[in-house]
Amino acid sequence: MASASQAVIARPSYRVIGRNGLIDKYFYFAMSLLTIVIVVLGFGQTVNANLIHPTIPRPGILWVHGATFSTWVLFFVLQSALVRTHNVRIHRTLGWFGVALGTFMIPLGLYTAYVMTRFDVHQLHATEMVTFPGIQLTDMLSFTTFFLLAIYWRRKPELHRRSIFIATSVLLAAAFGRFPYLANHTIFYLGVDAVILLGVVRDLLVNRRVHTIYRIALPALIIVQATAVYLFLGAPAWWVKVTNVIVG
């Protein structure tokens, strides 16, 4: 009887929620895999026609942009996997590569936005895209903000991992923008916010409360996103003047 009782006590727990449950252990790694799925599904619908076999060849910077941002997604998966497998020392060492990569992505993203907006307007004659820089600037500003916070909080895991998660999530706007329904109704930011909301749900299930960074970041992001969509679709006169100077 004693042996049987000990066997029962020694049996491992497979809790899903709460501290040390499956959600707690695997959430960020699962989110990194979800990021790959969203990127593949989104860009898979347009990459052939818009990049690999376009009617009008795209600027070369787009290839650099695609390769660099894809590297970030793969790096996010690798770093999440290293934490999950308790290889924290390697995670921290490789983190400096992430700092260099993310720092490079900021000017690259801004320059690519400039080049591609000019291309869309002047080469593809998509004049409605003249106000699109508001969307692009919003995405890069959002990424930059949370990327820098992640560096600042690199020794505070609870803040660091949420900052990196949000920074990577905001980059998914471009992928969600390639899903026909979301793009046609200009609601691709709903996809971004839904992914971030998964982090909120994770906190509720694991910690029974929402972390402060989500309570501040998510409302702020929604306001900034709504403003960007307004500038794109509403095209106020002052913004058109600004973007006309940018586009030339």
Query: How far is it, in rounded angstroms, from Cα 56 to Cα 124?
Result: 8
- State the pLDDT at residue 155: 93
Smallest Cα–Cα separation from 148: which of 110, 98, 198?
A: 98
Q: Which two tokens stand for residue 69?
A: 């941002």
- State the pLDDT at residue 151: 97
Average the pLDDT over 38-57 and give the result.
90
Task: pLDDT band for 240, please (50, 70, 90 cuts).
Answer: very high
Tally Cβ neighbours within 10 Å of residue 6. 10
Which has more confidence, 8 or 59? 59
Residue 152 has pLDDT above 80, yes or no: yes
What does the DSSP 8-state code read for residue 76? H
- State the pLDDT at residue 14: 62
Query: How far is it, in rounded angstroms, from Cα 150 to Cα 109?
Result: 19
Which of 10-19, 56-65, 154-163 bottoms out in mean pLDDT, i.e. has the lowest? 10-19
Q: What is the mean pLDDT of the chain?
A: 91
- State the pLDDT at residue 27: 95
- State the pLDDT at residue 180: 87
Residue carrying the six token digits 């106000």 = 131
Smallest Cα–Cα separation from 239: which of 117, 141, 134, 139?
A: 134
Q: Which two tokens stand for residue 132?
A: 């699109």
Mind listing the pLDDT tens digit for each residue in 72-95?
999 999 999 999 999 999 999 999
Mind listing the pLDDT tens digit for each residue in 210-231?
999 999 999 999 999 999 999 9
Query: How far is it, in rounded angstroms, from Cα 248 to Cα 243?
Result: 8
Residue carrying the six token digits 């996010």 = 76
Q: Which two tokens stand for residue 184?
A: 């046609």
Residue 3 has pLDDT above 60, yes or no: no
Q: Are 113 and 136 in contact (CB under 8 A)?
A: yes
- State the pLDDT at residue 10: 44
126 three-state secondary structure: coil
Residue 7 has pLDDT above 90, yes or no: no
Query: How far is it, in rounded angstroms, from Cα 198 to Cα 72?
Result: 20
Mind listing the pLDDT tens digit for each residue in 154-192?
999 999 999 999 999 999 999 999 998 887 778 999 999
Residue carrying the six token digits 């998914």 = 172
Task: pLDDT band for 19, please (50, 70, 90 cuts).
Answer: confident
Q: Are 19 and 209 in contact (CB under 8 A)?
A: no
**Helix orientation angle between 237-247 and 133-152, rounded to the nearest 10 degrees:** 80
HSE, CB side, 13 Å, CA atoms: give it for residue 102.
26
Is the pTM value of this prediction over 0.75?
yes
Tally Cβ neighbours within 10 Å of residue 36. 14
Which of 7-21, 97-111, 195-209 bottoms out in mean pLDDT, i.e. has the lowest? 7-21
- State the pLDDT at residue 247: 85
